[in-house]
Amino acid sequence: MGISISEFGKNIWAWMFWGLIFWLLMELVPFSLAGLVLKKTPGELVAPYLAFAVPWVILAPPIWWLRKWEGSGVSPKRLAQGWGVSMVLFGIAVNFAVFYSGVQFHIIGLEDAIIYFVVATLISGPTGFLVMYLMALPRISARVAEKVSG
C-alpha cells in the first residue's frame, strides 16, 4: 500500500514527510560546518537543528492548501493574501530558530535575543507579507488568465 509519485501531491502527510526529510538534509551541511567552527558536539547541535525544522512544518500545510485552493477557483487576491500570511508565519518561525540557536550556542544573551526577536519580527512580518503578496498576485492572476483563455 505504497504511495505513487502521481499521488504524492494529493496526500498532505506524504508531501510534508518527504519535504521535511529534504529540508533536514539541506540543513545537515550548514549545521555540520557550524559544529566544526563553533566546536560543538552533535548533542549540542540537536536542539537548534530541530528548531530550524519548525519553519518547514509551519509553511508546508499552507503551501499545500493554497495550491489546492488555486485549483478550486479561489480569487487571486485571496490566494495572494494567503501566501503573504504564510510568509509572515514562516518569517516568525525562522526568526525564532535563529535567535534560539544564538542563545543555545551562547552567541547572544537571552534578554537581547528576546528584544531582537521582537524587533526582527516587527520588521520582517509586514515586509514578508508585502513582498510575497506582490510576487504572488501577478503569477496567480496569470495562471488564472491562462486557464480561462486556454
The pLDDT tens digits of the residues spanning 9-58 come to: 668 888 788 888 988 899 899 888 988 998 988 899 999 999 999 998 88
pLDDT value at residue 1: 43
3-state secondary structure of 130: helix
In the block, residue with C-alpha cell 520582517: 124
For residue 44, give the C-alpha cell.
549540542
Q: What are the φ and ψ backbone dihedral angles of 144, each rounded to 5 degrees?
A: -65, -45
- Average pLDDT of the residues of the chain: 89
Contact between 136 and 84 (Cβ < 8 Å): yes
Contact between 90 and 56 (Cβ < 8 Å): no
Contact between 116 and 103 (Cβ < 8 Å): no
84-119 pLDDT, tens per residue? Answer: 999 999 999 999 999 999 999 999 999 999 999 999
